[in-house]
Chain A
Amino acid sequence: MADIIKTATRDAYGKALVELGDINDKVVVLDADLAAATKTGMFKKAHPEKFFDCGIAESNMMGIAAGLAASGYTVFASTFAMFAAGRAYEQVRNSIAYPHLNVKIGATHAGISVGEDGASHQCCEDIALMRAIPGMTIINPADDVEARAAVLAAAEYEGPVYMRFGRLAVPRIFDEDYKFEWGKAVVLNEGTDVTICATGLMVNEAIEAQKILAEQGISAEVINVHTIKPLDAETILRSAAKTGAIVTAEEHSIIGGLGSAVAEAVCETAKPVPVVKLGVNDVFGKSGPAVELLHIYGLDAQNIVEKAKQAVSMK
């Protein structure tokens, strides 16, 4: 399998911004002293006149983004997920989301896979925080192809978007001609026994899990939920009606993220099905190599397999 391409979604973000800058003169990019890490540095190099470093002041950066957007610009504001959704939460809510301004928050280094920096930088609560804000769109791409497509699509959409990118290089899943459909969950593999709803880097693990389950005689349907809000409940519920059980998989707290969103949608139907959530189990992360940490926190194919069996047994 030496030919698998591995790229971090943050790299795809940086490259997509450069592309956008080439074609859209309304695009402005902001960063808070992390341009090398968030990859907005690529845009800075290509389009220096449209890039502004706000320094280590994320709250102010969100306000700057709001002011620029209110003046007609399409603004990408970038920092780590912890500081975008955490520190600047209220600025995102009041200055950006309340007026529904055209700001795209490029939040990199989300989740446990930040790795060695440890718990202070491993944000596993950002989706929960952003989901609670009215009118916020949340996109968590699975690979670099989807990340690029999502960034380009976000620039065309009018309103606030929270885009979640990772630090860790992840395997490419999609072909270069992959079409990103705004808000539409993608059924990657059809199955009949259990539905695996995955997002971000867990999509690749879900695909692996499906193969393992197939060997054990369990037919799993895999859905890539790249957009967590608004949730494509239709696609998920249609699958649930068919399989009768759901597993959710995300590199995020089991509280408030994809698992919660799916459970909320499923339990408000006439025939709810079991929903078993795989995610960061209401704990803080810790330092370590990213891949090792993902296994330590159970964020891998093997744990999806176990949860899938559990879900099937609950039918």
Chain B
Amino acid sequence: MDAAIRKQLKIKACKARMGIIEGVFNAKSGHPGGSLSCVDIVTYLYFNHMNVDPRNPQKEDRDRFVLSKGHAAPALYSVLALKGFFPAENLKTLRKSDSMLQGHPSMKYTPGVDMCTGSLGQGVSTACGMALAAKLGNKAYRVYTVLGDGEIQEGQVWEAAMFASAKGLDNLVAVVDNNGLQIDGKISEVNSPYPIAEKFKSFGWNVIEICAHSFDEIDAAFNAAAEFKGKPSVIVANSVKGKGVSFMEDQVSWHGTAPNAEQYEQAMSELTQALAELEA
């Protein structure tokens, strides 16, 4: 990946992280951990990969994005705001009763959101439906969906995995945000979905494993997926929950907890410093 592009993506992702913290802090609730773990990938998709137009969110030939792990909504909202789908000030209204930003993504409220998600396991099926629609209409658009690693404990994910492979949906790319943690603890201990890559392979998917925080690896993975024909692709993205905020990293307690004022200051200070270093 071009160094200048990589730098820009890092800057965008850092700003997106600030938006996540801003939103969750003001809402006094929400899911910072899993938002921070997938935000590099969401940033990459919106700024360097997908065909979308913030001035025309419903444009027919746009690529689609379904956040199947809907609780990571702050990551999606933060990136959509950066991309210009709506003003960044809205991020502070997250989860409030007059906000366009629902606790979980809703296409009814938010420009740029392609599907209502939040109930785990369901988004991936709708993404399959969108990919099938593209095939049916001979459309070139592609469909992207991000799943949680805990989410793949839902049986519906494997119904969808079987379907996507059986119908040859090579215009679909799923990402498993493998941060290793779910609400009740380590996914390996709660009800292990491992080995993830082998499971998708056996379901007939093209499997790519990467580090979720390396834009070079992310870029290579999505480009490889775009070139792979005949099967859907899944990117098993090994990530760190809470990535980018020191005290949130790899801590299950930050799955669904908002920072207090002091923690907010510390998180924003860390991210501000990181941003300054990136922009230097």
Contacts and interface: CB of A to CB of B under 8 A. Distances in A.
A55 B203 CA distance: 15
A60 B116 contact: no
B125 A94 contact: no
* Listed residue (B107, B116, B127, B128) with the most chain A CB atoms within 10 angstroms of its CB: B116
Contacts of A63: 122-126, 128-129, 156, 160
Interface stretch (A69-77, A198-206, A286-294): A69-77
A68 interface: yes
Given A60-B160, A94-B122, A99 B129 contact: no
Contacts of B129: 63-71
* Listed residue (A52, A68, A91) with the most chain B CB atoms within 10 angstroms of its CB: A68
Chain B at the A interface: SS class: helix
A95 interface: yes
A64 B132 contact: yes
B162 A70 contact: no
* Listed residue (A54, A60, A70) with the most chain B CB atoms within 10 angstroms of its CB: A60
B132 A95 contact: no
Contacts of B166: 55
Contact of A67 (B118, B128, B162): B128
Interface string A132-157: 00000000000000000000000000
A98 interface: yes
Interface residues of B, number: 34
A54 B133 contact: no
A122 interface: no
A117 interface: no
B163 A55 contact: yes
Given A63-B125, A91-B122, A91-B125, A99 B132 contact: no
A224 interface: no
A63 B66 CA distance: 12
A57 interface: yes
Contacts of A67: 115, 125-133
Chain A at the B interface: SS class: helix
A62 interface: yes
A19 interface: no
A99 B115 contact: yes
A28 interface: yes
B125 A98 contact: no
A63 B130 CA distance: 10
Contacts of A91: 122, 125, 156
Interface string A40-60: 000000000110101101011
A240 B123 CA distance: 46
A65 B121 CA distance: 15
B64 to A, nearest CB: 8
Contacts of B131: 67
A72 to B, nearest CB: 7
Contacts of B167: 52
B276 to A, nearest CB: 41
B125 A95 contact: yes
B106 interface: yes
B119 A90 contact: yes
Contacts of B127: 67
A73 B159 CA distance: 22
Contact of A99 (B116, B119, B121, B162): B116
A57 B133 contact: no
A54 B163 contact: yes
Contacts of B133: 67-68, 70-73
B162 A55 contact: yes
Interface in B122-166: 122-134, 136-137, 155-156, 159-160, 162-163, 166
* Listed residue (A28, A67, A70, A100) with the most chain B CB atoms within 10 angstroms of its CB: A67
A28 B163 CA distance: 16
Contacts of A69: 129
Given A60-B162, A99-B108, 10 more contacts: A63-B156, A63-B160, A67-B129, A71-B130, A71-B133, A71-B137, A90-B119, A91-B125, A99-B107, A100-B108
30 contacts: A54-B163, A55-B162, A57-B156, A59-B122, A60-B128, A60-B159, A63-B125, A63-B156, A63-B160, A64-B163, A67-B125, A68-B130, A68-B136, A70-B107, A70-B114, A70-B130, A71-B134, A73-B136, A91-B122, A91-B125, A91-B156, A94-B116, A94-B118, A94-B122, A95-B122, A95-B125, A98-B106, A98-B116, A99-B108, A99-B115
CB-CB nearest 5 A-B residue pairs = A67-B129, A63-B125, A71-B133, A60-B159, A57-B159
Interface of B: 60, 64, 106-108, 114-116, 118-119, 121-134, 136-137, 155-156, 159-160, 162-163, 166-167
Interface of A: 28, 49-50, 52, 54-55, 57, 59-60, 62-73, 90-91, 94-95, 98-100
